[in-house]
Structure 1
């Protein structure tokens, strides 16, 4: 049987600046979708996966960030690297997870794609897009959701899916239920047919009518806001339109800096299969590499440094003699002076850690004994106290020699003079 080449598109929902508050202070410097995870911008992982699907014609990013210089530069580089049109469509206001799809429906359907992927920017995954496409071809329906399993407690933090185990039809969908509904959760990765835009149109028209009742001017701003999960999936479940494809591959949300560090670990592990050239090799006279480590070609790393596991070192970083670095991301232009020890930390752009200083966080990993555990969407505070978590140094922070910074968040441009534990340093 000859496979028929079909024309596909992909849409990546990147949100906007009022989102990503849990990602501060890192989102002050760069839009969250461009934050480097395992050495490349977060959404580059999405684009790489989409570009590998045969028949992919165009990748559209939808969000309400201003199209600033970093975003424009990234798009130009991505177009060249993947030899595909990669365009940004800017919403006039935050339109929810489905509003942008409806607003830009003409752009999405231009050229007559047979189906289009929709991916949330703030997820980390091995993106089993070809498997989803096979499932869709076998059984075409307007909505195909990627699902994975979670434990009973954590499932309450996600969209929960009740499926028919024989047909995989979604019978019931609840976003963040208050009691246990199902251990199958929504991964925020979808494959839609062009028919999927009709229910979005129905929601838009209903919103418009509701708005006109409230506002006779017809300028009610909420009409364009559509929440895919509540307005579409919950409403259409059990009507033969929504199906789920289950994956046991890697998956995590990236809601906070702690989850970015965990996602970096997952992607570095994936590189063994997908991008072995990105992983640093142990070479004679070079630094000691333990486990999966990414080092940008422009970084200068002293031969006596010990790196890994799960370390990502950005552009122009300097790592001095005797440095010990593990489970950390070191961003563009940072300097780790001699004999510093950096564990479970994100070191911000252009920051400096002084000699013999120790900067350490506490990992908040999923339970290793529970194969269905996911990263907790951790809150920063409990009972008015900062919870121990990874340490984050904002942009251009200076840590003096011989101090200890433990479980702390340091806002940009701070010059510290002493040790800190469990503090937010404003």
Structure 2
């Protein structure tokens, strides 16, 4: 994740102080943790949080007997990892959607991403939890807010309740809950107005909405890129609303990450969701331990597997296996697999979830256009050519290169890579491949 790259580098440098040391001592721990604290402060982590964090790590490090098999810097990384996860809440916290209808009230400043997140959350709870949501437009001040929510609702097939003439958000919220009950909606997500800064009118209004509809869940939405300001705003909102959880938006941005690390310890409320991009499926449940993995450059293989499983179709996999076994895997199947990978999210983000890869690719520019030339080449083939790759002779390849805006070398390289992939896949599904795997297991 872009936001933690600088912190990851700084922490790695801090741990190098202990490399080559035979044991953990007061002196080398103090030196390492001074550097860790400086790294956290530079990442815009709250000063009190950074101080308490490093003190907790110091006590745990000095209280440890270092096993001969574990080097001191490795032990320190383990302690820092566990403390980072604890700092961010230890485990994922679920959203409360019990109730008929369950009511979720969104709060936050203008520009934090409340409206977009309301749509993302409705989409997630509809597709993953089988809920039947209703979005409610209670931002009666920002002219485009109602229209924005309606457009989002249309994109995800979720109705939006709005009263264009009524400027009383408390009444709109109450009417929306009645509407939901009458129309069999089991989830109501209320988008509220924000301001550019905290003011009494906004706080009074959202408190009145809370008291009128008695929501099961109040989420505070904040832009992660605002750093310590995000933490201070969270504190003020929590004092008035006593919200249930935090949503960090724009976590994909090039920011220092201090809000994600500080907010839990300051308001003592869990981070429940993170927004990781513009698309309506760019929303993740927040897992503190996985985030600690990523901050320390350990990747996040669990999230990667989960994303793959979301796109996995068992029936399609069986069909594909039969085609591979009969050497019938073709360019139609190839491009279908590319589409599946693209649905999983941003390619650089996906690659950074593989342990050890994040650091290697941080300076590489990997975007969603990485497959563009491959897709252009395959799309320039006729249906017959895609189904029968063996007929791709010289003249056909020249035509495909011209039609795809590539050159003959790129076309030849793709076909060569495709042939190699097909052979390897067939070897792994053939009797010989299975026997080879069995022998490997025995060893």
The TM-score with structure 1 as length reference comes to 0.32
Q: Give the structure with the larger strand fraction.
A: 1
- Structure with the bigger RCO (C-alpha within 8 Å, sep 6+) is 2
Q: Give the structure with the larger helix fraction.
A: 2
Larger gyration radius, structure 1 or structure 2: 2
